[in-house]
Protein backbone atom coordinates (compact mmCIF):
# COMPACT_ATOMS: atom_id res chain seq x y z
CA UNK A 1 0.00 0.00 0.00
CA UNK A 2 0.87 3.67 -0.32
CA UNK A 3 0.04 6.12 2.44
CA UNK A 4 -0.02 9.92 2.40
CA UNK A 5 -0.46 12.62 4.99
CA UNK A 6 -2.03 15.76 3.60
CA UNK A 7 -3.78 19.05 4.24
CA UNK A 8 -7.15 19.70 2.61
CA UNK A 9 -9.52 22.58 3.36
CA UNK A 10 -7.48 23.45 6.43
CA UNK A 11 -7.67 19.94 7.87
CA UNK A 12 -4.75 17.56 8.34
CA UNK A 13 -5.47 13.90 7.47
CA UNK A 14 -3.77 10.66 6.46
CA UNK A 15 -5.01 8.20 3.90
CA UNK A 16 -4.38 5.28 1.60
CA UNK A 17 -3.49 6.35 -1.93
CA UNK A 18 -5.59 4.52 -4.50
CA UNK A 19 -4.26 3.52 -7.90
CA UNK A 20 -6.09 6.45 -9.47
CA UNK A 21 -4.70 8.90 -6.88
CA UNK A 22 -7.88 9.08 -4.80
CA UNK A 23 -7.17 9.35 -1.09
CA UNK A 24 -9.07 7.07 1.29
CA UNK A 25 -8.89 8.77 4.70
CA UNK A 26 -7.78 6.89 7.80
CA UNK A 27 -9.45 7.29 11.17
CA UNK A 28 -6.05 7.95 12.80
CA UNK A 29 -2.99 9.80 11.59
CA UNK A 30 -0.27 7.76 9.93
CA UNK A 31 2.18 8.94 12.59
CA UNK A 32 -0.08 7.63 15.35
CA UNK A 33 -0.46 4.29 13.61
CA UNK A 34 3.28 3.89 12.96
CA UNK A 35 4.35 4.90 16.47
CA UNK A 36 1.83 2.44 17.89
CA UNK A 37 3.32 -0.37 15.79
CA UNK A 38 -0.03 -0.90 14.04
CA UNK A 39 -0.51 -3.35 11.18
CA UNK A 40 -0.82 -1.17 8.10
CA UNK A 41 -2.18 -4.07 6.09
CA UNK A 42 -5.66 -3.43 7.45
CA UNK A 43 -5.77 0.07 8.95
CA UNK A 44 -9.23 1.41 9.92
CA UNK A 45 -10.44 3.91 7.35
CA UNK A 46 -13.39 6.20 6.76
CA UNK A 47 -16.29 4.86 4.72
CA UNK A 48 -16.21 7.57 2.05
CA UNK A 49 -13.30 8.33 -0.29
CA UNK A 50 -11.56 11.67 0.08
CA UNK A 51 -9.95 14.12 -2.36
CA UNK A 52 -7.48 13.36 -5.14
CA UNK A 53 -3.75 13.79 -4.44
CA UNK A 54 -3.68 16.70 -6.90
CA UNK A 55 -6.21 18.59 -4.74
CA UNK A 56 -4.23 18.54 -1.49
CA UNK A 57 -0.98 19.78 0.00
CA UNK A 58 1.15 16.71 0.65
CA UNK A 59 2.79 16.81 4.08
CA UNK A 60 5.62 14.53 5.24
CA UNK A 61 4.03 11.05 5.43
CA UNK A 62 4.89 10.83 9.12
CA UNK A 63 6.63 12.76 11.87
CA UNK A 64 9.73 10.62 12.44
CA UNK A 65 10.77 9.75 15.96
CA UNK A 66 14.43 9.99 14.93
CA UNK A 67 16.48 10.13 11.73
CA UNK A 68 19.72 8.22 11.31
CA UNK A 69 21.34 9.25 8.04
CA UNK A 70 23.84 6.71 6.73
CA UNK A 71 26.52 7.04 4.06
CA UNK A 72 26.42 3.83 2.02
CA UNK A 73 27.37 4.90 -1.52
CA UNK A 74 31.13 4.70 -2.12
CA UNK A 75 30.99 7.00 -5.15
CA UNK A 76 29.31 9.72 -3.07
CA UNK A 77 31.98 9.47 -0.37
CA UNK A 78 34.75 9.91 -2.95
CA UNK A 79 33.27 13.00 -4.57
CA UNK A 80 32.04 14.82 -1.49
CA UNK A 81 35.20 14.19 0.51
CA UNK A 82 37.20 15.81 -2.27
CA UNK A 83 34.75 18.72 -2.40
CA UNK A 84 34.48 19.34 1.37
CA UNK A 85 38.08 18.96 2.56
CA UNK A 86 40.16 18.27 -0.56
CA UNK A 87 40.97 14.67 0.41
CA UNK A 88 41.02 11.92 -2.19
CA UNK A 89 39.67 8.38 -2.05
CA UNK A 90 37.59 6.76 0.68
CA UNK A 91 38.72 6.39 4.32
CA UNK A 92 39.54 2.76 5.11
CA UNK A 93 37.33 2.97 8.20
CA UNK A 94 34.29 3.55 5.97
CA UNK A 95 34.42 -0.07 4.75
CA UNK A 96 34.18 -1.50 8.28
CA UNK A 97 30.57 -0.56 9.12
CA UNK A 98 27.63 1.49 7.78
CA UNK A 99 28.38 4.86 9.41
CA UNK A 100 25.55 7.24 10.28
CA UNK A 101 24.81 10.46 12.12
CA UNK A 102 21.60 11.73 13.71
CA UNK A 103 19.89 14.59 11.87
CA UNK A 104 16.98 16.87 12.74
CA UNK A 105 13.52 15.20 12.78
CA UNK A 106 11.84 18.56 13.46
CA UNK A 107 12.69 20.25 10.15
CA UNK A 108 11.05 17.83 7.71
CA UNK A 109 9.05 19.26 4.81
CA UNK A 110 6.43 17.92 2.43
CA UNK A 111 6.83 16.79 -1.17
CA UNK A 112 6.16 20.21 -2.70
CA UNK A 113 6.97 22.64 0.11
CA UNK A 114 9.25 25.62 -0.39
CA UNK A 115 12.76 25.31 1.08
CA UNK A 116 14.45 28.43 2.50
CA UNK A 117 18.20 28.86 2.08
CA UNK A 118 19.79 28.40 5.55
CA UNK A 119 21.01 31.64 7.17
CA UNK A 120 24.55 32.45 6.06
CA UNK A 121 24.70 29.70 3.42
CA UNK A 122 26.20 30.38 -0.01
CA UNK A 123 26.61 26.73 -1.11
CA UNK A 124 23.17 25.14 -0.76
CA UNK A 125 22.78 21.56 -1.99
CA UNK A 126 20.24 18.73 -2.25
CA UNK A 127 20.87 15.03 -1.51
CA UNK A 128 18.96 12.20 -3.20
CA UNK A 129 18.24 9.40 -0.73
CA UNK A 130 15.66 6.76 0.12
CA UNK A 131 14.70 6.24 3.77
CA UNK A 132 13.45 3.08 5.45
CA UNK A 133 10.79 3.45 8.15
CA UNK A 134 11.02 1.20 11.21
CA UNK A 135 7.73 -0.42 12.20
CA UNK A 136 8.67 -2.60 15.20
CA UNK A 137 10.81 -2.26 18.31
CA UNK A 138 14.05 -4.23 18.21
CA UNK A 139 17.51 -4.51 19.71
CA UNK A 140 20.69 -6.27 18.59
CA UNK A 141 18.98 -7.47 15.43
CA UNK A 142 20.54 -9.64 12.78
CA UNK A 143 20.00 -8.57 9.19
CA UNK A 144 17.54 -11.43 8.78
CA UNK A 145 15.53 -10.32 11.82
CA UNK A 146 15.69 -6.68 10.72
CA UNK A 147 13.70 -7.35 7.56
CA UNK A 148 10.57 -7.94 9.63
CA UNK A 149 11.12 -4.57 11.34
CA UNK A 150 11.11 -2.42 8.19
CA UNK A 151 7.63 -1.06 7.57
CA UNK A 152 8.22 0.80 4.32
CA UNK A 153 10.14 3.41 2.37
CA UNK A 154 9.96 7.06 1.34
CA UNK A 155 12.14 9.57 -0.55
CA UNK A 156 14.50 11.56 1.67
CA UNK A 157 16.09 14.82 0.45
CA UNK A 158 18.73 15.80 2.99
CA UNK A 159 19.30 19.46 2.06
CA UNK A 160 22.82 20.60 2.99
CA UNK A 161 24.59 23.90 3.57
CA UNK A 162 27.96 22.79 2.23
CA UNK A 163 29.95 25.85 3.29
CA UNK A 164 28.64 25.63 6.86
CA UNK A 165 29.26 21.88 6.86
CA UNK A 166 32.84 22.24 5.63
CA UNK A 167 33.68 24.77 8.34
CA UNK A 168 32.12 22.91 11.25
CA UNK A 169 33.55 19.48 10.33
CA UNK A 170 37.00 20.89 11.06
CA UNK A 171 35.97 20.75 14.74
CA UNK A 172 35.59 16.97 14.41
CA UNK A 173 31.94 16.57 15.37
CA UNK A 174 30.60 15.87 11.90
CA UNK A 175 27.84 17.73 10.05
CA UNK A 176 25.69 19.76 12.43
CA UNK A 177 24.22 23.13 11.46
CA UNK A 178 25.07 22.36 7.85
CA UNK A 179 22.37 19.66 7.90
CA UNK A 180 19.91 21.24 10.32
CA UNK A 181 17.53 23.38 8.30
CA UNK A 182 15.41 21.18 6.01
CA UNK A 183 14.77 17.64 4.82
CA UNK A 184 12.00 16.49 2.49
CA UNK A 185 10.07 13.27 3.05
CA UNK A 186 7.53 11.97 0.57
CA UNK A 187 5.55 11.87 -1.47
CA UNK A 188 4.24 8.72 0.20
CA UNK A 189 5.14 5.96 2.62
CA UNK A 190 5.28 2.84 0.45
CA UNK A 191 5.00 -0.40 2.39
CA UNK A 192 7.88 -2.85 2.10
CA UNK A 193 5.85 -5.52 0.31
CA UNK A 194 5.23 -3.11 -2.60
CA UNK A 195 8.97 -3.01 -3.36
CA UNK A 196 9.74 -6.72 -2.90
CA UNK A 197 9.57 -7.36 -6.69
CA UNK A 198 12.58 -5.00 -7.01
CA UNK A 199 14.77 -6.94 -4.53
CA UNK A 200 17.80 -8.72 -5.99
CA UNK A 201 19.52 -11.91 -4.84
CA UNK A 202 21.78 -10.02 -2.40
CA UNK A 203 18.87 -8.26 -0.73
CA UNK A 204 19.30 -4.86 -2.39
CA UNK A 205 16.37 -2.92 -3.85
CA UNK A 206 16.99 -2.35 -7.56
CA UNK A 207 15.33 1.07 -7.95
CA UNK A 208 16.20 3.82 -10.44
CA UNK A 209 16.99 7.19 -8.83
CA UNK A 210 17.01 10.54 -10.65
CA UNK A 211 17.80 14.11 -9.59
CA UNK A 212 16.77 17.16 -11.62
CA UNK A 213 17.37 20.88 -11.13
CA UNK A 214 15.05 23.16 -13.09
CA UNK A 215 14.01 20.26 -15.29
CA UNK A 216 17.57 19.21 -16.19
CA UNK A 217 18.83 15.80 -15.06
CA UNK A 218 22.01 16.28 -13.02
CA UNK A 219 22.24 12.83 -11.41
CA UNK A 220 21.06 9.25 -11.73
CA UNK A 221 21.94 6.01 -9.98
CA UNK A 222 20.53 2.72 -8.74
CA UNK A 223 19.58 2.22 -5.10
CA UNK A 224 21.15 -1.24 -5.39
CA UNK A 225 24.58 0.46 -5.58
CA UNK A 226 24.44 0.84 -1.80
CA UNK A 227 27.24 -1.07 -0.08
CA UNK A 228 24.96 -2.31 2.72
CA UNK A 229 21.30 -3.34 2.62
CA UNK A 230 18.72 -1.53 4.73
CA UNK A 231 18.44 -4.66 6.86
CA UNK A 232 22.18 -4.57 7.58
CA UNK A 233 21.94 -0.86 8.37
CA UNK A 234 19.06 -1.49 10.78
CA UNK A 235 20.95 -4.33 12.43
CA UNK A 236 23.90 -2.00 12.99
CA UNK A 237 21.63 0.81 14.25
CA UNK A 238 20.09 -1.59 16.79
CA UNK A 239 23.44 -2.80 18.12
CA UNK A 240 23.59 -2.14 21.85
CA UNK A 241 20.42 -0.03 21.82
CA UNK A 242 16.78 -0.01 20.70
CA UNK A 243 15.20 0.98 17.41
CA UNK A 244 11.58 2.05 17.68
CA UNK A 245 8.57 2.43 15.40
CA UNK A 246 8.85 5.73 13.56
CA UNK A 247 12.67 5.75 13.40
CA UNK A 248 14.00 6.57 9.92
CA UNK A 249 17.16 5.25 8.28
CA UNK A 250 18.45 7.29 5.34
CA UNK A 251 20.33 5.38 2.66
CA UNK A 252 22.87 8.13 2.29
CA UNK A 253 23.19 10.09 -0.92
CA UNK A 254 23.45 8.06 -4.10
CA UNK A 255 26.36 8.42 -6.51
CA UNK A 256 26.64 9.80 -10.04
CA UNK A 257 25.28 13.23 -9.21
CA UNK A 258 23.06 12.43 -6.24
CA UNK A 259 24.13 15.83 -4.92
CA UNK A 260 25.95 18.86 -6.30
CA UNK A 261 28.93 18.54 -3.95
CA UNK A 262 29.88 15.20 -5.48
CA UNK A 263 29.95 16.85 -8.90
CA UNK A 264 31.99 19.77 -7.54
CA UNK A 265 34.55 17.32 -6.21
CA UNK A 266 34.63 15.41 -9.48
CA UNK A 267 34.89 18.51 -11.69
CA UNK A 268 37.19 20.47 -9.39
CA UNK A 269 34.89 23.50 -9.57
CA UNK A 270 31.41 24.66 -8.57
CA UNK A 271 29.68 23.23 -11.62
CA UNK A 272 26.65 23.00 -11.58
CA UNK A 273 26.31 26.05 -9.31
CA UNK A 274 24.85 25.86 -5.79
CA UNK A 275 21.10 26.10 -5.40
CA UNK A 276 19.66 29.60 -5.53
CA UNK A 277 16.20 31.02 -4.78
CA UNK A 278 13.88 30.08 -7.64
CA UNK A 279 15.58 26.75 -8.36
CA UNK A 280 13.31 23.70 -8.38
CA UNK A 281 14.75 20.38 -7.23
CA UNK A 282 12.92 17.21 -8.30
CA UNK A 283 13.95 13.81 -6.97
CA UNK A 284 12.43 10.57 -8.23
CA UNK A 285 12.71 7.03 -6.89
CA UNK A 286 11.23 4.18 -8.91
CA UNK A 287 8.32 2.55 -7.10
CA UNK A 288 8.00 5.42 -4.61
CA UNK A 289 7.32 8.59 -6.61
CA UNK A 290 8.74 12.11 -6.88
CA UNK A 291 9.21 15.13 -4.65
CA UNK A 292 9.73 18.61 -6.07
CA UNK A 293 10.77 21.56 -3.89
CA UNK A 294 11.43 25.18 -4.83
CA UNK A 295 14.24 27.06 -3.09
CA UNK A 296 13.27 30.44 -1.59
CA UNK A 297 15.28 33.15 0.20
CA UNK A 298 16.09 32.48 3.83
CA UNK A 299 16.35 34.83 6.77
CA UNK A 300 19.49 36.91 7.46
CA UNK A 301 22.08 35.63 9.90
CA UNK A 302 21.63 36.85 13.45
CA UNK A 303 25.25 37.29 14.53
CA UNK A 304 26.82 35.59 17.51
CA UNK A 305 30.17 36.45 19.12
CA UNK A 306 33.24 34.32 18.61
CA UNK A 307 34.37 32.13 21.48
CA UNK A 308 35.78 34.10 24.41
CA UNK A 309 39.28 33.27 25.55
CA UNK A 310 38.81 32.34 29.17
CA UNK A 311 41.28 31.98 32.01
CA UNK A 312 41.89 28.53 33.41
CA UNK A 313 42.00 29.46 37.05
CA UNK A 314 40.11 27.17 39.39
CA UNK A 315 39.59 29.46 42.37
Neighbouring residues of 315: CB distance < 8 A, sequence distance ≥ 6: none
Better-predicted residue by pLDDT, 255 or 268: 255
Q: Are residues 146 and 19 part of one domain?
A: no
For residues 28-36, average pLDDT: 96
Give the residue numbers spanning the domain of 193: 66-296
Contact present, 184 and 293 (Cβ < 8 Å): yes
Q: Are residues 123 and 45 part of one domain?
A: no
Q: Are residues 140 and 36 part of one domain?
A: no
Q: Are residues 39 and 95 part of one domain?
A: no
Contact present, 274 and 259 (Cβ < 8 Å): no
Q: Are residues 39 and 137 part of one domain?
A: no
Q: Are residues 10 and 159 part of one domain?
A: no
**Pick from 209, 207, 225: nearest CA to 71:** 225
% helix / strand / coil in the chain, to the nearest 5? 25, 35, 45
Residue 305 lies in a domain: no
Q: Are residues 43 and 179 part of one domain?
A: no
Residue 75 lies in a domain: yes
Q: What is the pLDDT of residues 68-85, one digit of tens each?
A: 999 999 999 988 888 776
Q: Are residues 20 and 160 part of one domain?
A: no
Q: Are residues 169 and 256 part of one domain?
A: yes
Residue 22 lies in a domain: yes
d(CA 31, CA 190) in angstroms, rounded, equals: 14
Q: Are residues 126 and 249 part of one domain?
A: yes
Q: Are residues 232 and 95 part of one domain?
A: yes
Neighbouring residues of 80: CB distance < 8 A, sequence distance ≥ 6: 253, 259, 261, 262, 265
Q: What total number of domains does the chain contain?
A: 2
Q: What is the pLDDT of residues 111-160, one digit of tens each?
A: 999 999 999 999 999 999 999 999 999 999 999 999 999 999 999 999 99
pLDDT band, very low/low/confident/very high, at 265 (cuts 50, 70, 90): confident
User: pTM for this one?
Assistant: 0.96
Q: What is the pLDDT of residues 158-198, one digit of tens each?
A: 999 999 988 888 888 878 899 999 999 999 999 999 999 99
Residue 262 lies in a domain: yes
Residue 28 lies in a domain: yes
Which CATH number do you get for residue 275? 3.90.850.10
Amino acid sequence: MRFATYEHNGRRSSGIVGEDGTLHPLRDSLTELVLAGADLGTPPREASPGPHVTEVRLLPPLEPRSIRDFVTFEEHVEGVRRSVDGSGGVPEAWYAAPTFYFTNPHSVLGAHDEVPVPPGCAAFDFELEVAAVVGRTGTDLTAEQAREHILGYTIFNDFSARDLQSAEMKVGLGPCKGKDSASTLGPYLVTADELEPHRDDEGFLHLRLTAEVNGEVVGSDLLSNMSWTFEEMLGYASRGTRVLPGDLLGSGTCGNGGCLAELWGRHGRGDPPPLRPGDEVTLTAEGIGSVSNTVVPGVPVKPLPRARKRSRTRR
